[in-house]
């Protein structure tokens, strides 16, 4: 009987010593399940061009947000864009069908979309390609021929380009 008690006590000590390892393993299993679930979701989104659709939807939403800000600044905050490219009258928060817009309003909406597209493209462009609207300077003003051109009254020769 004492031999059996000793064996059980020895087994208990071994089990207690393994508790920290088991806790660590539980943590790793939880992390592994989360990673597996994330990868499964990613694989699902990449099938059937769902990921491409998601990216396009995000970019479109970004375009409409920036275009709404630009259109609002051009119209005294009178108009903005809805999520389906409709013009929204901000005083009534009602969408306006495009056929009810005047030629000037249509032009401003188109201009706002074009400027928003340029703004978003500039955000993603490498820093050397960015144009500073606030300083009205372009990055290539640092080049040799541009400095000469800006200092002189005549345009540099074609071989200086």
Give me the mean pLDDT over the 22-49 stretch.
88
Q: E strands along the chain, which residues?
A: 79-81, 87-89, 94-96
Give me the mean pLDDT over the 113-139 stretch.
69
The whole-number pLDDT of residue 142 equals 43
Give me the mean pLDDT over the 23-42 stretch.
91
The whole-number pLDDT of residue 70 equals 94
The whole-number pLDDT of residue 151 equals 54
| SS3 assignment, position 137 | strand
Q: Which of 42-51, 74-83, 142-151 has the lowest mean pLDDT?
A: 142-151
The whole-number pLDDT of residue 134 equals 47
The whole-number pLDDT of residue 128 equals 61
Give residue limits of the domains in the chain. 2-48, 127-161
Q: Give φ, ψ of 34 to 5 degrees.
A: -65, -45
Is 141 a residue whose pLDDT tops 50? Answer: no
The whole-number pLDDT of residue 156 equals 42
Give me the mean pLDDT over the 37-52 stretch.
82
Give me the mean pLDDT over the 51-58 stretch.
84
pTM of the full predicted structure?
A: 0.53
Give me the mean pLDDT over the 102-109 stretch.
92
Is 132 a residue whose pLDDT tops 60? Answer: no
């Amino acid at each position: 009987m004492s031999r059996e008690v000793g064996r059980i006590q020895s087994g208990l000590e071994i089990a207690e010593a393994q508790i920290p390892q088991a806790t660590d393993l539980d943590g790793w299993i939880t992390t592994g399940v989360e990673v597996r679930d994330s990868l499964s979701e990613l694989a699902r989104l990449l099938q059937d061009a769902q990921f491409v659709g998601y990216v396009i939807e995000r970019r479109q939403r970004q375009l409409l947000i920036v275009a709404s800000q630009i259109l609002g600044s051009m119209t005294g905050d009178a108009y903005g864009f809805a999520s389906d490219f409709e013009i929204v009258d901000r005083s009534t928060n009602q969408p306006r069908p495009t056929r009810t817009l005047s030629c000037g309003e249509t032009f401003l909406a188109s201009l706002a979309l074009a400027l928003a597209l340029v703004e978003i493209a500039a955000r993603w462009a490498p820093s050397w390609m960015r144009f500073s609207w606030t300083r009205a300077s372009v990055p290539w003003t640092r080049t040799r021929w541009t400095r000469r051109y800006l200092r002189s009254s005549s345009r540099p020769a074609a071989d200086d380009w």
